[in-house]
Structure 1
Amino acid sequence: MTKRSSSLLKPTEQLLDKPALRRGIANHLHYTVGKDAEQVTDRDWFMALAHTIRDRLTERWMKTTRRYQEKDVKRVYYLSLEFLIGRSLNNSALNLGIAENFRQILTEFEMNESRIADTEAEAALGNGGLGRLAACFLDSLATLDLPGEGYGIRYEYGMFHQHLHQGWQREQPDNWLRYGNPWEFPRPEILYPVEFGGRVVEYRHENGQAAHQWTDTEHVMAMAYDMPIPGYDTDTVNNLRLWSAKSSRDFDLEFFNAGDYIKAVEHKNLSETLSKVLYPSDSTSLGRELRLKQEYFFISASLQDIVHKHVQHYHTIENLSHKIAIQLNDTHPALAIPELMRLLLDKFYLTWDRAWELTVNTFSYTNHTLLPEALETWPVPLLERLLPRHLQIIYEMNHRFLRDVAHRYPGDGERLRRMSLISEEGTKQVRMGHLAFVGSHRVNGVAQLHTQLMRDTTFADFEQFFPQRIVNKTNGITPRRWLNEANPPLTQLISDTLGHKHWLKDLTLLKQLIPFADDAAFRQQFRAVKQHNKVQLAHFVQQRCGIILNPHSLFDVQIKRIHEYKRQLLNLLHVVTHYVRLRDNPQIDTVARTVIFAGKAAPGYAQAKLIIKLINDIADVVNHDPRIGDRLKVIFIPNYDVSTALKIIPAAELSQQISTAGTEASGTGNMKLALNGALTIGTLDGANIEIREEVGADNFFIFGMNAEEISALKRNAYSPLFYYHAQAELRMVLDMIAGGYFSPDAPDRFQPLIDALLSGGDYYCLLADYADYIRCQNEVTQLYRDSEEWTRRAILNTANMGKFSSDRTIKEYAQDIWKIGEI
């Protein structure tokens, strides 16, 4: 296209003033939605608003891309199986600074802003903390003007929709794309083949070295969908590229012509399952195979795309690690390491040593868990069948690595066994954590304790062999989503008090609020904001669950994935203890308390689903006991997601962060709740330790054993039955649950939970921490009586959370690991 014709096609600048926005909305209602004013629905309004915002994002997005190209910057690519970005309408409007203009326009048209916003389907691209962290990181990369791009999967159904049936979790498909996604740009021209199966043929390349060809494979096509990710108060808009699986052929014409229509589309249907749903159950061999294929599908497409763009721009692969940094978010993308080696060896014919040098210098790996069941392993026979070339490369990596280990530690066979990328116990397994560690130049934990435990336990041998490779990068959250969007009244109060909004890009400025903790007038305003948010949450709960909450009670919140190590069951032991005390002593002087749970259990996780049932059975008894009234309520809010979190977190007053010390890598819910003025009751686990250091020990309710004490307890033959027999109140509570007090229709229903505690070893030490937890909860009750002191401490929590901005985390990644700078 000539320069003249290009200039004729230059679009009109998309302005942010109210008249321009009004014109944009009207145009999209007419030309995009295709309806007259009399026919427009709330969803039509949403689509028009979203496209009006997208126009403005697109303009900045293209300018950002051109700027990166002109400056020839080093870029970071963030590979994650999850990106829990939630809804985009409000967040994008706030980041662009046009939320108030939209609000005024909708008011002029007598439209309900919140009702329109609620028509947006939440992007079901993640499960919990891992995906939410990735979304926060994308926000910070753009806000800090850093050249970064995310890669993931465009799940058609994503995480399941959770609903309750008689207190049991039931899963339904979450068809979030049913009405289309106005934020995405399909890229049918960006299409890569992803191969599975086949065999490997060795031959001699013309340069004389041995070469390999992976042949006779089955193909699935990966098609790109792009989503613009705007920064706050900046023109930078970065990209999230998601892959959707497409068949390499729509149907088999031979079968079709023979009348076998099901067989004709069989390959298409099987191919496209790869991007249907997040985390297919790995409880079956077919589900496990699908999950492995899903992981390889997204990293293969991503690596092909990254390498293609790089070579297209630089015409060489030799400078790859100087211009590209790739971050592996957990072990799910770890196959990217042998995949890049495959490309460098089999497509660019580099020597092994040169390919390995480029690979290690390109990759870095974030470890998110030390729990054995969460550290991925894949059976060698499965890899041999699906990815034979990658298994060859992994074996060669392991051979060379163990040779170096043996040279360093001659005769230490046990060390070789521990450090091998291949586990030899039973069916051979590839240890993905080991693979990610050896193939990366930096490996980071996500909180100080977690990182130290990495060095001392799971990766102790690797720490000795690769000193300084393990570094800490404590997690953070974006204040744009988790305060500016989540809590407008508190955002306004802070901005009015400080006289600026700069704190939204520099959260450490919240320390300027510290003196106001001693200001009675400010405390009253802060308390009024919290009360407003509690009333809003009570209204939401009544609408969704049909339960009336007392907004003057203490809102006690535990919102996170349902898992035994997160110890929702310990919370329930306190609930039952508190219930019995109220039941047996009606005149007891206490404060009213509403205990709020939310979270999803993995579909195949029977114990976690039983815990959800127990929550609801206890709630059914407690909430309908006339002797208790409003003094204690228990509520499980179903289908916990980002949008629900945005409603719960601003109203929370007590944040339950009670995982067994040494099991939670970091946590980010603890940060969101504290930032919004909740006091934390928690163990010395994950980022709780650092939060307590920042907000002050007096402003944090600590209980339970630390990680060293837990380890010592287990070494010394921990006996849960000792605590059961020694503590009458604990024994009574466990016997009530086991005896069917809360499940008269099925008295033995919760016996598996009690058995896991009493005869199964109580792996997460609930009984050992119970007494101190009850003591600490009594402290909570006593402090809550003094509303002025509670509010003072809540303000100090908010004021001292500046360290936990994802902006700080991303700056550390950029400086210490990726070596990139703002543009």
Structure 2
Amino acid sequence: MSVSIINKQIEEKASLQKSFLKTANMLFGKEWDELTKEELYQTLVNTIRQYVSENWIMTNKYYAEHNCKEVYYFSIEFLLGRLLNSNLINLDMKDICKDALADLGIDINELFKQEPDAGLGNGGLGRLAACFIDSMASLGLPGHGCTIRYQYGLFEQKIINNQQVEIPDNWLKNGFAWEYRKADKEVRVNFGGNAYMAEQEDGSLKLVHEGYDTVSAVPYDVPIVGYHNNVVNTLRLWNAEVPKDYASLSGTREQLQERLRQSYRIQAITSCLYPDDSSYEGKLLRLTQEYFFVSAGVQSIVRHYKRRKGALSAFANQVAIHINDTHPAMAIPELMRVLVDVEGMDWEKAWNITKNTIAYTNHTIMPEALETWPIDMFKKLLPRIYMIIEEINARFLDNIRKMYPGDEERVRRVSIIQDGMVHMARLSVVGSHSVNGVAKIHSDILKSYSMKDFNEIYPKKFNNKTNGITHRRWLIAANPELSSLIDEAISDKWRRNPSRLIDLLDFKDDKAFLDKLDEVKKGHKLYLAGHIKRRIGFDIDPNSVYDIQVKRIHSYKRQIMNILHVMYVYNWIKRDPSIKNQMLPRTFMFAGKAAPGYHIAKETIRLINTVASVVNNDKDVNDHIRVVFLPNYSVTLAEKLFPAADVSEQISLAGKEASGTSNMKFMMNGAITLGTLDGANVEICDAVGEENCIIFGLKAEEVMEYYKTGLYSAWTEYNVNPKVHDVVDQLLTGPFVGNGDFHDLHNYLFSSNDEYFVFKDFMSYCAAHSKIKAKYNDHYGWLKSSLINIAHSGQFSSDRTIAEYAKDIWNVHPINLIKE
């Protein structure tokens, strides 16, 4: 390193220290060494914000001056995780900050821990959105996010008496250090009232919308920092507030009380992520949330466009709106409302602009999971939007009847308004120019099964964009030791271009390198064991195989099959203790939240924890198997789990998981996939080869055939397979029945006819676990497979996914932002 570079680094460190100390004085009015860890964290964030803001202003100025087409990614959730560490990495400031603070006796890692996980998301949908906006900024693409500023996250999960208990996730109690309130960007969103077309004196019709309630939508902007490129995009969070002109204290007592009640209703809109929709009120709040952030976002985009770019006739050439699943589907009628009602555009022109602006990503292949809303609820809350959807549907069905004369059954299957419900996926397909699935198998099933009718109507509209994850979060930040090892082997070129991870294949037979890879994994396993000990007071063996399933608790993800297998292994050891000599020590780990109203999922959590209590306290087995449920799964916890995993459990029923992204995160950190040929597992298996993953179970086409013929029988599988019989019976009686039996789980499996084929796949699943032993005992063979998985993980980077979106769907181009 040259003297000039060293001197520059010294100057930068001194400048950063000076800025840090000045910020501490300004924020808290005391010396830095008197600050708490929370105050030190706030000081560091505010110091870094100064660097971010400079690039943010420069980025927005560039977009305006160069008339860039911009993408707006609408998603009901963005699961960001902590931002300080990732922002420092992307700014290329982590090392200098670490050194500058160390000179002051401050451990930067302690400050990282002060940051809460932002309660803006729950699972894969939200984490995907977070990876996507990270990739847009890092690729230099003009792309922004739009969502809700939830005061409370989904919930904080605690395990009490083996059961999930939900407490409020008050993540904003100390504020959100990365957000900027933009009160001057406020827009108004209207709900309820009466909407109708009134005839004018000249015979024309004019819209009348009266008696509605108005909510103020105030944006809070979060900078999204690109990787080493000076680009900073925006994630806009919308907060529901009482309009200023509504807050008057005049009026009768009854009027004041009604205003107070209305204030509570307004604040409730952005109070929590995913309100319980098991009641009418919960469903209504969810629908209100969806329209609130969509309307605010669309109005804001149009206003911004008019101020910067002028005539709306070119809107679709300058703006792309992408809806992540159907929660933001009302962007379609809302954009129509703004263009027709507010801007006075004729219907055909507005519809052409809307369709060419909006693109839709589908995330489910289960028809029963597609979002619908009761007409009565929808029409009462959003009368004008309902009118627009009626018109969209009427015109669409006119065309279908011309295309398929006399085929009224087809008309019924594709109608947006049908059987008393508004079908949001149908609206999303009709009102967009692109519909993509998120894995090859998912997209194929969409076209041939779930949306076959629409694929026949719009054969060029459907396409595939396999999901991806950002390697900056899930490898560079989460696993710096592995990242440094990769740098040593192939240089750091992969950090900008993750496809270059493939160069690691040159080392797959290099035992010295594989030994280093093994040491990295052992270090993370030891760290995770310590974290588990500190968090839940439980010891695990860091030399055991870490077998991990982490994701939302849901029947189709089949956590129940996983824990039934643990029960099977427990029974096996109890019957024949000598079998332990033939077994690998295993630690089975679970994490994930069940929706508060999802009883079977919550019972599954109770079963996992009950089995854990039995297994972990039985000296006959706990030297060979342990079971851990880690509460309150989050991005921060995930960053500890993925680098430590040996086995990645991806065991959903084939044809049910759209893609999955935890499979990619595990793969990128060297875990071996144990899974079905479902979602992106198929493409992972194709990439690494069947010898470097473990596949089991029915294939998607076999599942579809069972559904089609109705020939599957849970009782038959139960009766002919004694191993299934034994573990299923233990849901009612035996060593695992503690705080009441698991009658509800037992009844569910049979009353639903084992809807996700746990019984059918169980023996194949057990056999797959047996294969793990043989593979793991071949020490260098296992490490070679681990390396091959890492090497091929670059193709599952969200950078690749977003580059495909940009080229094939959005038609946007990267910028080169050079700092003066």
TM-score of the aligned structures, taking structure 1 as reference length: 0.96
Tell me how far 1:209 sits from its aligned partner. 5.2
Q: Does 1:649 align with 2:645?
A: no
Alignment of 1:632-781 (within 5 A): 632-714=625-707, 715-746=709-740, 749-781=741-773
Task: State the distance in 2 between where 1:649 and 1:114 align.
Answer: 19
Task: State the distance in 1 between where 2:108 and 2:310 align.
Answer: 50
Q: Which of the numbers 258, 269, 275 marks the counterpart of 1:274? A: 269
- Preserved contact between residue 555 and residue 594 of structure 1 (Cα < 8 Å): yes
AA paired with 1:357?
A: N
Q: Which moved more, 1:344-353 or 1:237-246?
A: 344-353
Once the two structures are superposed, residues 684-728 of structure 1 have per-residue CA deviations (whole angstroms, 9 ceiling, x without a partner) of: 000000011111111010000111101122324201112211121
Alignment of 1:348-359 (within 5 A): 348-359=343-354
SS at match of 1:809: helix
Tell me how far 1:573 sits from its aligned partner. 1.4
Identity of aligned residues (%): 42
Q: Which of the numbers 542, 564, 568 marks the counterpart of 2:559? A: 568
Alignment of 1:75-474 (within 5 A): 75-203=70-198, 210-249=205-244, 251=247, 253-254=249-250, 258=253, 265-424=260-419, 428-474=420-466
Once the two structures are superposed, residues 647-684 of structure 1 have per-residue CA deviations (whole angstroms, 9 ceiling, x without a partner) of: 11100010000000000000000000000000000000
Task: State the distance in 1 between where 2:627 and 2:202 align.
Answer: 71
Structure 1: tracts of 5 or more residues without a match: 1-13
SS at match of 1:368: coil
SS at match of 1:229: strand
Tell me how far 1:18 sits from its aligned partner. 1.2
Task: State the distance in 1 between where 2:415 and 2:258 align.
Answer: 44
Task: State the distance in 2 between where 1:186 and 1:160 align.
Answer: 24
Once the two structures are superposed, residues 420-465 of structure 1 have per-residue CA deviations (whole angstroms, 9 ceiling, x without a partner) of: 00122xxx10000000000000000000000001001111001001
- Preserved contact between residue 252 and residue 265 of structure 1 (Cα < 8 Å): no
SS at match of 1:355: helix
Q: Does 1:485 align with 2:477?
A: yes
- Preserved contact between residue 380 and residue 429 of structure 1 (Cα < 8 Å): yes
AA paired with 2:761?
A: D
Task: State the distance in 2 between where 1:779 and 1:267 align.
Answer: 61
Task: State the distance in 1 between where 2:445 and 2:19 align.
Answer: 54
Map of 1:510 onto structure 2: 501
Task: State the distance in 1 between where 2:448 and 2:644 align.
Answer: 39
Tell me how far 1:315 sits from its aligned partner. 2.5
Tell me how far 1:506 sits from its aligned partner. 1.2
Q: Which of the numbers 467, 470, 473 marks the counterpart of 1:475? A: 467
Q: Does 1:559 align with 2:555?
A: no
Q: Which of the numbers 596, 599, 605 marks the counterpart of 1:606? A: 599
Task: State the distance in 1 between where 2:255 and 2:395 align.
Answer: 51
Task: State the distance in 1 between where 2:284 and 2:748 align.
Answer: 30
Tell me how far 1:270 sits from its aligned partner. 1.4
- Preserved contact between residue 671 and residue 804 of structure 1 (Cα < 8 Å): yes
Tell me how far 1:240 sits from its aligned partner. 0.6
Tell me how far 1:258 sits from its aligned partner. 4.7
SS at match of 2:20: helix
Map of 2:796 onto structure 1: 804
SS at match of 2:584: coil
Tell me how far 1:262 sits from its aligned partner. 5.8
Task: State the distance in 2 between where 1:129 and 1:799 align.
Answer: 23
Task: State the distance in 1 between where 2:203 and 2:649 align.
Answer: 63
AA paired with 2:468?
A: G
- Preserved contact between residue 78 and residue 327 of structure 1 (Cα < 8 Å): yes
Map of 1:791 onto structure 2: 783
Map of 2:5 onto structure 1: none
AA paired with 2:759?
A: L
Task: State the distance in 2 between where 1:460 and 1:38 align.
Answer: 65
- Preserved contact between residue 477 and residue 804 of structure 1 (Cα < 8 Å): yes
Q: Which of the numbers 532, 539, 542 marks the counterpart of 1:548? A: 539
Tell me how far 1:786 sits from its aligned partner. 1.9
Q: Which moved more, 1:89-98 or 1:211-220?
A: 211-220
Q: Which moved more, 1:790-799 or 1:749-758?
A: 749-758
1:209–1:802 distance in 2 versus 1, CA, 3 Å: farther
Tell me how far 1:26 sits from its aligned partner. 0.7
- Preserved contact between residue 164 and residue 605 of structure 2 (Cα < 8 Å): yes
Structure 2: tracts of 5 or more residues without a match: 1-8, 816-820
TM-score of the aligned structures, taking structure 2 as reference length: 0.96
- Preserved contact between residue 249 and residue 256 of structure 2 (Cα < 8 Å): no
Task: State the distance in 1 between where 2:54 and 2:199 align.
Answer: 50
AA paired with 2:66?
A: K
Task: State the distance in 2 between where 1:731 and 1:111 align.
Answer: 58
Map of 1:584 onto structure 2: 575
Map of 1:524 onto structure 2: 515
Task: State the distance in 2 between where 1:283 and 1:75 align.
Answer: 38
Task: State the distance in 2 between where 1:690 and 1:201 align.
Answer: 51
Tell me how far 1:33 sits from its aligned partner. 3.0
Q: Which of the numbers 62, 65, 76 marks the counterpart of 1:70? A: 65
Task: State the distance in 2 between where 1:572 and 1:273 align.
Answer: 38
Q: Does 1:538 align with 2:529?
A: yes
SS at match of 1:636: strand
Task: State the distance in 2 between where 1:717 and 1:770 align.
Answer: 18
Tell me how far 1:263 sits from its aligned partner. 5.2
- Preserved contact between residue 134 and residue 470 of structure 2 (Cα < 8 Å): yes
1:575–1:282 distance in 2 versus 1, CA, 3 Å: same
Map of 1:11 onto structure 2: none
- Preserved contact between residue 211 and residue 346 of structure 1 (Cα < 8 Å): no
Map of 1:10 onto structure 2: none
AA paired with 1:451?
A: S
Map of 1:8 onto structure 2: none
1:435–1:301 distance in 2 versus 1, CA, 3 Å: same
- Preserved contact between residue 563 and residue 601 of structure 1 (Cα < 8 Å): yes
Tell me how far 1:615 sits from its aligned partner. 0.3
- Preserved contact between residue 577 and residue 729 of structure 1 (Cα < 8 Å): yes
- Preserved contact between residue 505 and residue 787 of structure 2 (Cα < 8 Å): yes
- Preserved contact between residue 444 and residue 470 of structure 1 (Cα < 8 Å): yes
Tell me how far 1:314 sits from its aligned partner. 2.3
Tell me how far 1:204 sits from its aligned partner. 5.8
1:265–1:35 distance in 2 versus 1, CA, 3 Å: farther
Once the two structures are superposed, residues 485-522 of structure 1 have per-residue CA deviations (whole angstroms, 9 ceiling, x without a partner) of: 000100110011112x2212211101111021100000
Once the two structures are superposed, residues 172-228 of structure 1 have per-residue CA deviations (whole angstroms, 9 ceiling, x without a partner) of: 111111111111110111111110011124246899853313222100100010010
- Preserved contact between residue 250 and residue 256 of structure 2 (Cα < 8 Å): no
Task: State the distance in 2 between where 1:50 and 1:461 align.
Answer: 51
Tell me how far 1:802 sits from its aligned partner. 1.4
Map of 2:818 onto structure 1: none
